[in-house]
Structure 1
Amino acid sequence: MATKAYRELSGDEAAVWDRFYATFDFRPSMRRLPAITEPTPSVTWSLSGIEDDPGYTRLDRMTEVVHAGLTALVGTGSILCLDWQHPCYWVWPSLVGPENIDPPGQPGWPLSPYPDGDYFIYLAEEFRFGTFGHPWELSLCVFGGDLLDLVEADLNEVLGQVMRRDGRQVPV
Structure 2
Amino acid sequence: MDPITIGLALASQFAPQLIKYFSNSDTAATVAGQVIDIAKTVTGKGTPDEAATALQADPTLALQFKTAVLASETDLEKAYLADRADARARDVDLAKLGRRNVRADIMVFLDVVGLIACLVVLIFYKEKIPGEAVGLISTIAATFGLCLRDAHQYEFGSSRSSANKDLTITNLTR
Using the size of structure 2 for normalisation, the TM-score is: 0.28
Determine which structure has the larger helix proportion and give its number.
Answer: 2
The structure whose RCO (Cα within 8 Å, separation 6+) is larger is: 1
Flag the structure with larger Rg.
Answer: 2
Determine which structure has the larger strand proportion and give its number.
Answer: 1
